[in-house]
Amino acid sequence: MKKNKLLFISFMIGLLYLVYSYFYWNGAISTDNDAEAVGAGIAIVLVFPHLICAAIAVIFNGLGWYFHKRGFALTGGILYAVAMVLFPMYFFFVLIEMILSFIGFSQIKKSKEA
């Protein structure tokens, strides 16, 4: 069975975003100034739900690509949209993944088992 390229691209972009976020927020925490550390801690608390939702979306996106299942691809796209709502300032980090996931979902044929 042929794998969906758009789901794979969306999965890889989402994975790169999570790696970028890890290094970015890890660097933001490591500071000598107490005020900067408190500010970074507050920022991380605000962004954390967005990152968790994006991470779960990447997992579902990868499962949708690997197992060629429509439900996983749709769930990944919806979770990208939820991540966008959770922290609207970072919408551009998950917009392309969301669009590619929904297009990939529409390209996967319905199985006759369901």
Which helix (H) or strand (E) segment holds residue 99: the answer is helix 91-107
Q: Are 50 and 83 in contact (CB under 8 A)?
A: yes
- Give the dihedral of Cα atoms 27, 96, 90, 21; nearest 10 deg: -10
Contact between 104 and 73 (Cβ < 8 Å): yes
* Tens digits of residue pLDDT in 49-100: 999 999 999 999 999 999 999 999 999 999 999 999 999 999 999 999 999 9
pLDDT (tens digit, 9 = 90+) per residue, 30-41? 777 888 888 888
pTM as predicted: 0.90
Residue 20, C-beta contacts closer than 8 angstroms, at least 6 positions apart: none
Number of Cβ within a 10 Å radius of residue 104 = 26
Residues 36, 59: Cα–Cα separation, whole Å? 32
